[in-house]
Structure 1
Amino acid sequence: MLGGPSENPELWAFLQSLRCGELLSGTVTALERFGVFVALDDGPEHPVFPGVGFITIPELCWRRIEAASDVVHVGQRVSCEFLQFDTWNLEARLSLRAMRPDPFQAFADGLVVGQKLLGQVTKLVPIGVFVEVADGIEGLVPLPELAYRHGEPSDIVHVGDAITVVVTEVSRERRRLALSLRQGFS
């Protein structure tokens, strides 16, 4: 822990004054593998980190990314939603993705179970295959739905393959799309 209210009174007072959902602006000061530091316009300096604001990788954008640099760069101005006061690190946890509508929800509006979709294989994992069925929208084809015969995902499809899949489940709450390649053959 970086200290209590008595060690950093100005920082504690600022962070405690923030409310969930409040909009904050600032400048990206550092990109790390685990997230992004933001110097907030109205906030004090942080005693250790290059900014009082922090955005984790999942809170940068709605789609899956490999690195923070896929979305932001040092020196970029950002407006974010305040999520919570991290009392351990004395920072404001922020969300950049909350500033944009969730594309999954809009996509899910037009989906029905049993619907066929054309997609592209993006990743092979031990539990199945991820398929991008719209820009930034991926679903999982679990192993049992990959093929009638047993085998490794790489025996059946490869990254970059265009395949037809069938929607087997849509979970708006979990932002998950379950797909079947096997049912796409029928």
Structure 2
Amino acid sequence: MDWQVESPELWAFLESLHRGEIMSGTVAAIERFGVFVALDDGPAHPVFPGVGFITIPELSWRHIDAVTDVVTVGQRVTCEFLQFDTHNAEARLSLCALQPDPFQVFADRTVVGETLLGTVDKVLFFGAFVTVGDGIVGLVPFKEIQGRPAAGSPEEFRTGDEISVVVTEIERSRRRVLLATSERKDQLQN
């Protein structure tokens, strides 16, 4: 469909938007691939339930099991405009862009060497994933990573256990936290 010809008012509206612009609207429909938003300002979409669209990763900084954990149909939302999707003639939006990133908050307040209490989420052959608060999950590796010795062994972990861990590395760019068990702290610092 040639949106410029079929819906010139919609096309002109979308072209006028700027990245970072704050937009409000109402959740019009929830699909398995994202959320349609009927924007307060702007025309209706001739095909979709809303001119705005939020993909699943843009709903929340945290892992979500269901879209309805974050939004419901009829809910008012305020989002940041990301880009004009010319193929679908819709405004791509982000709900999480207007919320503090819990990973960056964690990285700002946590230092390498700090001991934290965490809960073992999952144990795999290469390491244990441990939640250390506010949706932040770190890895206790069972194998060497980047020249660092293993920070734990599978026998030490059971899903659901609360354990004491030490932060050994925070990688902001990769959004990764490496951990060790408290008993291995001295071993890893050498």
TM-score, L = length of structure 1: 0.84
User: 2:66 corresponds to which residue?
Assistant: 67
SS at match of 1:13: helix
Contact 1:164 1:184 (8 Å CA) reproduced: no
Work out whether 1:129 is the aligned partner of 2:128: yes
Q: Name the residue aligned to 1:165.
A: 165
Q: Could you list the per-position Cα deviations for residues 106-134 of structure 1 after superposition, in whole angstroms to 9, with x for gaps in the alignment?
A: 22122222222111122445653322101
SS at match of 1:118: strand
Structure 1 residues 113 and 51: CA distance shift in structure 2, 3 A: same
Secondary structure of the 2:4 match is: coil
Q: Runs of 5+ in structure 1 lacking a partner? A: none
Shift in alpha-carbon separation, 1:12–1:176, aligned structure 2, 3 A = same
Equivalent position of 2:146 in the other structure: none
Alpha-carbon distance between aligned partners in 2 of 1:125 and 1:3, rounded to the nearest angstrom:
49
In structure 2, how many angstroms separate the alpha carbons of the residues matched to 1:10 and 1:124? 54
Report the equivalent of 1:183. 184
Q: Is the 8 A contact 1:37 1:50 kept in 2?
A: yes
Cα offsets for 1:121-157 (capped at 9, x unmatched): 2244565332210122222233424634xxxx5x653
Residues in 1 aligned to 2:2 and 2:127: alpha-carbon distance in whole angstroms: 45
Aligned to 1:6, what secondary structure does the other structure show?
Answer: helix
Give the whole-Å Cα distance in 2 for the aligned partners of 1:140 and 1:41. Answer: 43
CA contact (8 A) 1:131 1:140 kept: yes
Identity of aligned residues (%): 63
Aligned counterpart, 1:119 = 118
- Provide closer, same or farther for how the CA distance between residues 106 and 26 of structure 1 changes in structure 2, counting only shifts above 3 A: same
Q: CA 1:89–1:127 in 2, change beyond 3 Å: closer, same or farther?
A: farther
Greater gyration radius: 2
CA RMSD of aligned residues (A): 2.3
Gaps (5+ residues) in structure 2? Answer: 144-149
Whole-Å separation in 2 of the counterparts to 1:75 and 1:185: 54
Q: Measure the CA separation in 1 of the matches of 2:12 and 2:175.
A: 36
Q: 2 CA distance for matches of 1:130 and 1:48?
A: 43
Deviation at 1:76, TM superposition (A): 0.3
Aligned length, in residue pairs: 180
With over 3 angstroms needed to count, the CA separation of the structure-2 counterparts of 1:159 and 1:31, relative to structure 1, is farther
**Alignment-derived partner of residue 147 in structure 2:** none
SS of 2:13 mapped into structure 1? helix
Aligned to 1:80: 79
* TM-score normalised over the length of structure 2: 0.83
